[in-house]
Copies of this chain bind each other. A is one copy, B any other.
């Protein structure tokens, strides 16, 4: 696990990175991220996730669809994650599977020493995003990962104590 002591260390130190250095993402990093996502579990192994990668001007134009445009603009690339409704068998379970898929990608990004930010506010304008990208209605935008080299050292995260979460 590179500089990580163990899996818990990896999970605990992952953060949303909102500002990035001007550093290009190598092709093999991008391949690894998608590979990690591709191996997520899904109900009946239906693998409902689909990916679209944007960089350059297309990425900067996508920034217009979210109030977090500065994160998208700062990122070298973004990965859009869609639910393919033609592959769906149970909407709630598909969404959880896509959450697992995104988490795999975020953990891989962090493990490789890069940074990601899971953006959700842009879903408010998912129809417009589809139109902008020329994608059909069966593809439902579920999340966007902004991706790049973290600008500064990551801060400490906060979580509820376990006692609040245990029933």
A71-94 interface bits toward B, Cβ cutoff 8 Å, 1 = contact, 0 = none: 000000000101000000010110
Q: Among residues 109 to 167 in chain A, which have CB atoms less than 8 Å away from a CB atom of chain B?
A: 111, 118, 120, 123, 133, 135, 139, 142-143, 157-160, 162, 165-167
Q: In the complex, what distance in Å separates the CA atom of A2 from the CA atom of B27?
A: 27
Q: How many residues of A contact B (CB 8 A)?
A: 61
Kindly report which residue of chain B lies nearest to residue A142, judged by CB atoms: B96
Structural contact, A103 and B162, CB atoms closer than 8 A: no
Residue from A8, A41, A135, A139 whose CB has the most chain B CB atoms within 10 Å: A41
Check A63 for interface membership: any CB of B closer than 8 A: no
Identical chains bound together, number: 2
Q: In the complex, what distance in Å separates the CA atom of A90 from the CA atom of B142?
A: 12
Task: List A residues at the B interface (Cβ < 8 Å).
Answer: 1, 4, 6-8, 10-12, 14, 16, 32, 34-36, 38-41, 43, 45, 47, 49-53, 80, 82, 90, 92-93, 95-104, 106-108, 111, 118, 120, 123, 133, 135, 139, 142-143, 157-160, 162, 165-167
Which 9 interchain pairs have the tightest Cβ spacing?
A: A99-B99, A96-B99, A100-B103, A95-B95, A52-B167, A1-B1, A99-B100, A7-B111, A11-B39
